[in-house]
Amino acid sequence: MRNTTKLTLATAGFLAVVAGGGAAFAVSASPAPSSSGTTATPAPTSTTAPAEQAPRTPAPGEAEAKVQRDAAVKIAQDKAPGAQLTKAEFDGDETPAVWEVEFRQGDVEHDFEIDASTGAILEHEQETETAEERKAEAAEDQAGEQDDD
């Protein structure tokens, strides 16, 4: 008899908690009427940014660079107008520290090294890639991303 009483009390307590939680959720999720009598719609409360807008983590030494990422990209893009940015990475291991910036326009890839202190273009290589080379490069990039996970 005691086990039945304990089980009944435990079930009743559980149901009270669930019902109370559901009521609290309903109260917090429903719009509150304003003083003018209209119903105000609550603002969205998302705490996470979409992955494509997530802030980028700076590379070591990047914050100290006199030429920042956007400026390096602009310097390179002025030499490859109409091309689409595919990569912009800081490399502080080199002397001097550089921005490695890559653009693509059709089959032509433009690779730049921009001095992170002066903004000077240290290197600009142009390469025309075949469709097969692009597929192989994409496969390598995808394999590298899977290794990072």
149: pLDDT strictly greater than 50 = yes
79 in a structural domain: yes
Most confident segment among 54-63, 89-98, 118-127:
118-127
74 in a structural domain: yes
- Domain extent, residue 74, equals 64-148
94 in a structural domain: yes
31 in a structural domain: no
Average pLDDT over residues 136-145: 84
More confident residue, 73 or 52: 73
23 in a structural domain: no
Task: Quote the number of domains for the chain.
Answer: 1
34 in a structural domain: no
48 in a structural domain: no
Mean pLDDT of the chain: 74
3-state SS, one letter per residue, for the chain: CHHHHHHHHHHHHHHHHHHHHHHHHHHHHCCCECCCCCECCCCCCCCCCCHHHCCCCCCCCHHHCCCCHHHHHHHHHHHCCCCEEEEEEEECCCCCCEEEEEEEECCEEEEEEEECCCCCEEEEEEEECCHHHHHHHHHHHHHHHHHHC
Q: Which CATH number is 87's domain given?
A: 3.10.450.40
